[in-house]
């Protein structure tokens, strides 16, 4: 079977979503909330936390903000999906461009699954390991599930010098945000497109090509 650009794109999306969800379900069903263990020394930890808002542990606007973000993610996935279909029909679209957008779509889809379904499918992870499909029902409702985060890289854990204004003596951690595979895929896709494929989106550098017939 010949792997066309479209099929490779689908494989990238499927692989990222499956890996993202596999890691999240493993974390949810084996670790209580806020537990952690070291993978490599003190600079790469698996730290289980749940994020009710945006990527990298950020929060946004309570329940109304959560509903808006869930709806926004759904619209974003639909938009990027339509864009990928159009790009795949062109003869001048590099595989790298398709891969970049595939990573962004897969990451957004991975976090959407958490937001849409995890609140209904899992019991609370506070103080105990979460249960799948508990008899008493999940910890939340449709669209209001929390996103599971676990990748933590506190590469530098120190304190600001005492003489520094405002932050003197306070703890300094780099990199502080805790994220997941989906977040990493989105960031990788965006950075890759901006750094290496920006010329493709500049009209003067892109020849006009008619779409391939369906």
| Tens of pLDDT, residues 113-129 | 999 999 999 999 988 99
Task: Give the residue numbers spanning the domain of 123.
Answer: 5-150+176-197
Domain-embedded: residue 79:
yes
In sequence order, what are the beta bridge partners of 122? 132
Catalytic residue among 20, 92, 149, 162: 149
Domain-located, residue 105: yes
Q: Would you say residue 185 lies in a domain? A: yes
Whether 211 maps to a domain, the answer reads no
Active site residue 149: yes
Report residue 165: phi and psi, to 5°: -60, 150
Look at residue 137 and tell me if it is in a domain: yes
Predicted structure pTM score: 0.85
List pLDDT tens digits, range 25-51.
999 999 999 999 999 988 999 999 998
List, in sequence order, every beta strand (DSSP E) within the chain. Answer: 36-40, 44-51, 147-152, 156-159, 171-174, 178-179
Exposure string for 153-173, b = 16+ CB within 10 A, e = fewer: bbeeeeeeeeeeeeeeeeeee
Is 156 a member of any domain?
A: no
Say what the alpha-carbon torsion angle 116, 119, 120, 121 is, to the nearest 10 degrees.
100
Q: Is residue 48 part of a domain?
A: yes
State the pLDDT at residue 47: 97
Q: Is residue 121 part of a domain?
A: yes
Rounded Cα gap, residues 81 and 88, in angstroms: 11
Identify the active-site residue in 20, 92, 157, 183. Answer: 183
The answer to whether 183 is a known catalytic residue is yes
Measure the CA–CA gap between 135 and 58, rounded to whole angstroms.
31
The torsion angles phi and psi of 49, rounded to 5 degrees, stand at -140, 160
The number of domains in the chain is 1
pLDDT of 69 over the 60 cut: yes
């Amino acid at each position: 079977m010949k792997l066309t650009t479209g099929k490779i794109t689908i494989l990238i999306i499927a692989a990222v979503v499956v890996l993202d969800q596999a890691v999240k379900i493993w974390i949810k069903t084996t670790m209580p909330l806020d537990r952690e263990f070291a993978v490599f020394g003190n600079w790469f930890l698996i730290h289980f936390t749940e994020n009710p808002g945006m990527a990298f542990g950020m929060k946004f606007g309570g329940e109304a903000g959560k509903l808006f973000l869930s709806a926004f993610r759904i619209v974003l996935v639909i938009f990027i999906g339509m864009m990928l279909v159009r790009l795949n029909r062109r003869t001048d679209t590099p595989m790298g461009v398709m891969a970049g957008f595939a990573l962004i779509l897969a990451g957004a889809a991975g976090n959407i699954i958490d937001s849409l379904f995890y609140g209904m499918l899992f019991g609370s992870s506070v103080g105990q390991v979460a249960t799948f499909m508990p008899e008493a029902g999940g910890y939340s409702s449709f669209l209001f599930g929390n996103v599971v985060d676990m990748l933590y890289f506190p590469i530098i854990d120190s304190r600001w010098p005492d003489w520094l204004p405002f932050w003197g003596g306070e703890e300094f951690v780099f990199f502080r945000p805790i994220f997941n595979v989906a977040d990493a895929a989105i960031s990788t896709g965006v950075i890759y497109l901006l750094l290496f494929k920006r010329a493709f989106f500049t009209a003067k550098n892109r020849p006009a090509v008619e779409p391939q017939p369906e």
